[in-house]
Every structure is written in structure tokens, then in C-alpha cells.
Amino acid sequence: MHIKITNALISVYYKNGLEPIARALHQLGVNIYSTGGTQEFIEKLGIPVNAVEKLTGYPSILGGRVKTLHPKIFGGILARRELLQDLDEVKEYEIPLFDLVMVDLYPFEETLAQTNEEEKIIEKIDIGGVSLIRAAAKNFKHSLIVSHTSQYESLLKILLDQQGCSELVQRKTFAAGAFNVTSDYDAAIFNYFNETEALPAIKISYTEGKALRYGENPHQKGFFFGNLANLIKQLHGKELSYNNLLDVDAAVSLLNDFAEPTVAVIKHNNPCGVASRESIYAAWTDALAADPVSAFGGVIALNRPVDLATAKEMDKIFLEVLIAPAYDEDALQLLQGKKNRIILQITGQLPTSQTVRSVLNGVLVQDRNTVVLKAGDLKPVTSHIATEAQIEDLLFADKIVKHTKSNTIVLAKNKQLLGIGCGQTSRIDALKQAIGKAAAFEFDLHGAAMSSDAFFPFPDCVEIAYQAGIRLVIQPGGSIKDKESTQFCEQHEMAMYTTGIRHFKH
């Protein structure tokens, strides 16, 4: 069903992109109704406008809070043109039928980002705009609703290419966009009012999204919702995939815990190489050494700018994704030599509030694990005390274990990951895997630090660790058999520290 635009109601906060639309409507002989700043803007273009106040018989009142909330406006939007009763009432009360409604909303989220003043924030909660948008979207069979500047280009095509005649499928698509806008707006307002989480409810809304090549596997559809541009900038390479995004998230989250120059190599969401050094070049060299086999095709994250010397070394192996805060010009030019290599620049900070995960027929929500332990947080439970350098190794290992799938054991020495066991069904299997990894790349574990994401239910782990040469242990503690593990460490001059912080990650 085609509807030719005869009457248009326009009331927008943002005027950018409005001029060509107003001129096109005028060329088509459309009657334009407007109010306030929008009316002034259109009239300055030399285009006649019917004032809403003249139609309703009421001026804008309450400081602009009430302008369009009137039966003569909403009647013209909501009238069902296939019903004779509606048409008779419209005729009786001299209500124009609005075929086009162009309305956007007050900038609530933008205001929220700029001020903490409640009065200013509350005043940016749009009432009339939301009502107009919902009304026109509800009556999409007869009204075309344009609720965001992103729709202006599509509207112009209707005006110019279709002589102002909209099709039903177009109006329904625009209506979906309208409810997308209003639901996102309401979610932001709810989250502001519920910032203390007084109500056990969650409202998550993203209006921006893109289809990915596929999900985890080619037979699965995949989408990303959000604005990546707020966090990372892609400088080169193919489009990020579903799995790339998971690995990038893991990499950025891990590096966020390190202050000194550090490189992390991520594979399937788990670190397989991490090192902290005085230079990013040395950090890359030692991170790669931890597991050069797993690094092939991995995601590499650096928390310092990439220089040419480091780029030359990284360019020697196949790396799918590189992430860094900056790249020297010559380093970037070199790394761009591989056509498909994804090169990302970190431009923002990860959110620190909550994580959300779908499960069964709902979602799980929890606070992010933002704990980063310091030396003063460690509680010695043996008489053998670690040196300052050894404490740094314990803290280094604990940062890594926090970002590794459970059950996990991390072995480290001199701020270098030596071996890791992750995603195992038992802690002892994780330890054996970590020791095996270290042995495979000929690392000496004598004097190494061991970190566990959870307590030791039995002393078997510290016994095996001792046999491998490990002399430093950090773990949450809390097992009913803690004493057995502690006694073994005491008897074998191993330094054990507890943290009281578990790092399960599933």
C-alpha cells in the first residue's frame, strides 16, 4: 500500500541533514507542521511552515515541556484511515492526517556524560518526542516515522526517487527503527534511575550492530552489538571475526592489569605467553619463548608503542591480530606488509562495571573481576619468606591466572610465563600440563612461582610442584585441608602465600 506524503510533522533537536529534506518536501508540495527551533530553522530556508500552536490553539507551555501533546496532533498520527469512524472524527475536529512524522529525542545520554546535575539530566528526559515516535510507529500502515538522523538518507530516496510515496514495507522498517530508538532511550533512563540497583532488573540496549562473517564456526551466524570505535581503531587487515573479538577482549583485559612494558600472546581466550620487561622488544622476545608453537596464528597484545625492532621480530611468524596503544610509522608500514593481518590500536578503556552471559533461558550478570593484588595483600603461611623479586613473580603469576580458564595453574619466573595448565577438570591435571609445557620448551622450574586460581583440596599439587623445582606458591586458601599443603611447604622450605581471592573463570 502506497501512501503519498501530504502532511508532515517535523520537530527535531538535531538540525544537521534537515535542510535537503525540508527542501524536497517543499518541492513536492507537502504541508509542513512544526514548532520552536525546528520551525525557525525551516522558515529561514524560505519554506512556509504551519505552526503547531496555531493548529492546537495552545502555545508551548511549562517552559517547553508541553508543545505537541494534543489530540489534534496525535489524532492526525493515530487515525486509522480504513475506518470510517476515525475519518469522520478527523473531519469533524479539523485534524490534518500526518503521513510523515520526523521527530528525534533530547540528548539524555550525552547530557549524562557531561554533568552530574540531576536537574539538567531530568530535563533531558523527552516526553512528547517519545510519544510522537511511538504513535507514528504504531500506525505504520499510514504514517512514515523518521526517528534518527541515520534514516535521513533513506527518507531522501523516498522523496526524490519515489516522489514522496512510501511503501508499506518501508514504513514498517522505519517503525522498527523507531522502537529501537525509544527502547534504547528508555533503557538508558531506567539505568540512571536504578544506578543503586534497588530494583533487581537489567536493561541492556545497543542500537549499533554488525553482522560478522559467522559465529564461532562457519555454520553459525554471528553478530557484534556495540561501538568498537570507542575502544579500538582498526589500522589494517581483514574484518574482525567472532573468535577474533573474543581473543581481543581476553588480551586487552589481561594487559589492563600490567603497568610495566608487557606482551601477552592469546590463543582461544587463554594466555600462552606473557612477559614483563624494561623494553617492549625484550617483553615480546620472552613472551614468544613461553610457547612459540601456540603463538602461531595468535593474538598479540602490547601495552607500549611498537617500534621497528620489535615489529621486525614479530613479522617473522604468522600473527593474526596485533593490538597496541600506538605504532611507530616505520613499524606500522612493515607490519602492513601482510595483507590480512589485523592491526588494532587501543583508543579507550574497557568498562569496569559488569559482565553479562547468556545461560539457559536467561542471563547471568556479575561484577567484573577487577582485583589486582599488591604485595601487602599477600598473607605468608610458612616461615620461609619470599624475596622482593620473588613476590613480584608471585603477583605476576596471579595476574595471569586470573585471566585463564579454570581449573588453571600458572608457573612463572623472572616475570615470564614458563608453563600454563588451563581448562582442566582437576587442579592436578592443570599442574601436570603446566609442568609439561615448561619442559617442552626447556625452562628450568627451579625457584619458579606457582599460582592457582583456587585452593588446593589436597597436598598433592604442592608435592608435585616441589619435585619439579618450584619453591614459591600463591593461592586463595580456604580448603579444610589447607594445613596439609601448608605443612608440606613448611617442611620443604617452600614459601606459600594466601590471598583470600579466588579467580575462577568459566
Omega before 407 cis (within 30°)? yes
Amino acid at 211: A
Cell of 78: 493515530
469's CB contacts (< 8 A; 6+ apart) are: 444, 445, 446, 447, 448
> Listing from the earlier edge strand, what are the strands of the sheet with 144-146?
50-51, 31-34, 7-11, 100-103, 144-146
Q: Which of 15, 26, 72, 138 does the annotation list as catalytic?
A: 138
Q: What is the 3-state secondary structure (H, E, C) of 413-429?
A: ECCEEEEEECCCCCHHH
Residue 416 backbone phi and psi in degrees, to 5:
-135, 135
138 included as an active-site residue: yes
82's CB contacts (< 8 A; 6+ apart) are: none
E-assigned strands of 59-201?
Answer: 100-103, 144-146, 165-166
CA angle (375 as vertex; 371, 378 as ends), nearest 5: 75
Q: Are the beta carbons of 228 and 347 closer than 8 angstroms?
A: no
Which pairing describes strands 319-324 and 298-302: parallel, antiparallel, or unpaired? Answer: parallel
474's CB contacts (< 8 A; 6+ apart) are: 378, 394, 395, 397, 398, 449, 450, 451, 452, 496, 497, 498, 499
Tell me if residue 274 falls in helix, strand or coil.
Answer: strand
Nearest-angstrom CA–CA distance, 144 and 62: 29
Q: Side-chain half-sphere of 318: how many Cα atoms within 13 Å?
A: 6
Which pairing describes strands 209-211 and 223-225: parallel, antiparallel, or unpaired? Answer: antiparallel
| Rg from Cα positions in the chain | 31
The alpha carbon torsion through 331, 333, 335, 338 (nearest 10 deg) reads -170
CA angle (187 as vertex; 183, 191 as ends), nearest 5: 175
Q: Which of 141, 268, 312, 405 does the annotation list as catalytic?
A: 268
CA distances from 175 to 28, 108, 181, 182, 288 (A): 23, 21, 10, 11, 52
Can you say whether the dihedral through the CA atoms of 456, 459, 460, 462 is positive or negative?
positive
Which residue in the block uniquely carries the three cell numbers 522498517? 173
Residue 155 backbone phi and psi in degrees, to 5:
-65, -45
Active site residues: 138, 268
